[in-house]
Amino acid sequence: MELFSLDGRVAVVTGGNGGIGLGIARGLAEAGADVAVWARNEAKSTDAVAELRGLGVRAEAIACDVSDEEAVADATAETVERLGRIDVAVLNAGVAGVGRLPEFPTEEWDRVLDINLRGAFFTLRSVSDQMIEQGEGGSIIVIGSTGGILGNSVSPHYSASKAAVMQMAKAFGIQLARHRIRVNSIAPGFVETEMTDAMRNPKFEQIMIGARTPMRRWGRADEFAGPAVFLASDASSFMTGATLVVDGGMLIS
């Protein structure tokens, strides 16, 4: 359907070389978008870009640590230099961690917040500035988490960061609407990725997947391509500040 076409558009996907990020990057490319993968692992990015180019679009790997303000500005400029513009940005780069009181280390709290929250802010600020300069609107998609809605006692800093970025999407959705830039978020549930490998154990599978998730299975990275293409495309042209929950029904159980 033409409504879902991304032909002629350029998308940035932070952390787009693996997991949900790569699943989304594939979907955007299949819809016709050229894609810039921003990530720290250059070897993984090279492989991801080769795969995306195989789908018939332009794709570029751009080294970027989103927690570094200057690196984000440089990545934005490099994307425009290589691909001409930025129309879509998926703020996916993120990390998790474990932290418990009373010995919760400050550096561990800062590590997660620096990437998940500050990095998302730096990216949103930089790409939206480019979109405003282009004068043709755009779509920014923030990857949140059901952990930012329910809370996660094992990883409270992850929960805090994801709650914050989803609220950030709403607030900047208001600010940027006059520029025809839409800001929405996606809240994944439990998804099979490298980041969630450490969570897989019999007790977790029984309680959180078997009992708490009505679909009784993990999500797959490729199941985020559809929601992302929808939010990136004209199919969602009257949506901003919304959160799409993609969790196999966990939040309603």
| Residue 23 to residue 45: CA distance in whole angstroms | 13
How many other CB atoms are there within 10 angstroms of residue 56's CB atom? 9
Tokens found for residue 104: 């919760």
- Which position among 45, 67, 159, 162 bears the catalytic label? 162
| Residue 98 to residue 119: CA distance in whole angstroms | 19
- Which position among 139, 158, 185, 233 bears the catalytic label? 158
- Which position among 145, 161, 185, 233 bears the catalytic label? 145
Burial class (CB in 10 A: 0-12, 13-18, 19+), 239: middle
Give the largest Cα separation in the chain, rounded: 54
Using CA atoms, how far residue 110 sits from 91, 119, 155, 169, 236, in Å, is 19, 12, 13, 21, 35
| Residue 101 to residue 87: CA distance in whole angstroms | 42
Instruction: Indicate the residue type of 248.
Output: G
Count of residues making up the chain: 253
Catalytic residue status for 162:
yes
Residue 205, C-beta contacts closer than 8 angstroms, at least 6 positions apart: none
The catalytic residue positions are 145, 158, 162
